[in-house]
Amino acid sequence: MSLFQRYGLTSSVMVEGNLQADAHVALAGGGALVASALGTLRTDLAFSLADRTDQRDQAGYSVRGQFERRDGRPSNTAGRVWIGTVRYASQTFAAVGAPDAINAVEWDVGARYWQRLFGLGVGLGLDYQFGRDIRRDTAGATAQVQHSFNQAASLTLRLHDAIDQAGIRERSAFVVFSLRPASGQNVSISRDAGAAATRVDWRFMPEDDATGVGGFASIERSPQANALNADFQYAGSRGTVGLGVAGTDPRSATAERESVAALRFAGGVAFADGAWAVGRPVSEAFAILKPHPSLAGYDIGVNPLGDGTYQAHMDGLGPAVLPSLVPYRAARATVDARQLPIGLNVGAGAFDLAPAYKRGTLVTVGTGATVFLLATIEDANGAPVSLQAGRLVAIDDADFQPALVFTNRIGRIAVEGLKPGRYRLELFSAPDRPIRVVIPDDAAGQFDLGPLVLPEKAPVVATR
């Protein structure tokens, strides 16, 4: 269980509270965020009650503070940033999922600084951990210099000096060249001088997490071994398939070469209001878009991503599923029906969704309309009734919303979204002379009724 609430008291003060619990740990806490001209101060306080396996329930607490200052003055071209953090945790403070954890670090203090200098990004970080009981104190320092050649390439030098729990001092230097050759791709080449290791990484991801191919590949060469790791995943509207491979070639003659490969398939079956559909694995909330029987079998895309791709499809495999909606956050499903034959109608084309936690939403796409009506309106003498407005009213369907109709200069009308049945065409200029319209049961697609005659006015009989 997890609950979280954040509330702004003023434009510069915000408070929050949270509650988390599982079978063994209950955690409650709160905090405040205060913004001022000097910077932003954040404080958090949390209490825990853990059911440890070796003893009865124990309570613990943790306090954390962070100060961040970003120099936002127009004259500050260096973009200076200062961040300082301090955290204290009692020995028995426990997080959800770790009831038996023992906090060996009592105090954890850190500081970070960053700015631009001579066209370079320069950063410095310091941290110190005060051990509890017999644990040694540990410390570390990091210096970093980064140069961006353009938006697609950068070079980073990182120096690190640390003392571990055994009192051993470790120094290392990393050089990383990063390149983004295309959208969604990143290539990096790194060298760890301390471990004498060189590594090449290539990562790529689709523009939308829902569809496309993503993955990574890396090659590392060190004095101990050569290693290869790669993982690729394809996500489609009906599921995902992934392939992972890894191999290590030791340099020692006594060590054996290792290799492993794994093929993964993942999918989900979603149910909502009596409808079911197959798609990608479902997360916390989902929606099923079910086509009206008149649209069954047609390929209809949902939420276009560009280049002819969509987040989901209604097709011969069934309804579409949007499996990764965020609970209690409004969403919209947009239907692309440009490939449908003339006459078929999807209705609004965009559907607002209000997903709930661990719930599904069913949306029926389509109205059952199959006819795109064409006709010519003439008077009793065969002359076109031009440039007139009116409405088409269904006689047999009480739920049908009257359709607005206009005649052009030669009396032609065009009305989409109709079903077979009886209608009444009423021109606003002649409301007392409706035209009877009948669409046969076998009509579909574009259907031309030909000429429709506007009845003559009833003769006026003079009486005394």
Q: What is the pLDDT of residue 105?
A: 92
Q: Low-confidence residues of the chain, pLDDT below 70? A: 54-55, 72-76, 207-210, 458-464
Q: What is the pLDDT of residue 298?
A: 86
Sequence spans of domains, the chain = 1-103, 270-365, 371-453
Q: How far apart are CA 418 and CA 394, in angstroms?
A: 9
Q: How far apart are CA 26 and CA 47, in angstroms?
A: 8
Q: Is the full-model pTM beyond 0.85?
A: no
Q: What is the pLDDT of residue 458?
A: 56
Q: What is the pLDDT of residue 101?
A: 79
Q: Do domains 270-365 and 371-453 have the same CATH topology?
A: yes
pLDDT tens digits, one per residue of 184-212: 889 999 998 888 899 999 998 876 666 78
Q: What is the pLDDT of residue 208?
A: 66
Q: How far apart are CA 255 and CA 249, in angstroms?
A: 9
Q: What is the pLDDT of residue 67?
A: 96
Q: What is the pLDDT of residue 464?
A: 46
DSSP 81-128: EEEEEEEEE-TT--BTTBTT----EEEEEEEEEEEEETTEEEEEEEEE
Structure tokens at 173: 């230097």
Q: What percent of the chain has pLDDT over 70?
A: 96
pLDDT tens digits, one per residue of 223-243: 999 999 999 999 888 999 999
pLDDT, mean over the chain = 89
Q: What is the pLDDT of residue 459?
A: 52
Q: What is the pLDDT of residue 337?
A: 79
382 to 237, 398, 435, 455: CA distances (angstroms): 55, 33, 15, 11
Contact in structure between 320 and 312 (CB atoms under 8 Å): yes
Domain 270-365 sits in CATH at 2.60.40.2610
Q: What is the pLDDT of residue 118?
A: 87
Contact in structure between 437 and 423 (CB atoms under 8 Å): yes
Q: What is the pLDDT of residue 78?
A: 80
Q: What is the pLDDT of residue 181?
A: 83
- Domain 371-453 matching CATH 2.60.40.1120: the answer reads yes
Q: What is the pLDDT of residue 305?
A: 83
**In sequence order, which ranges of 306-352 are alpha helices (DSSP H)?**
none
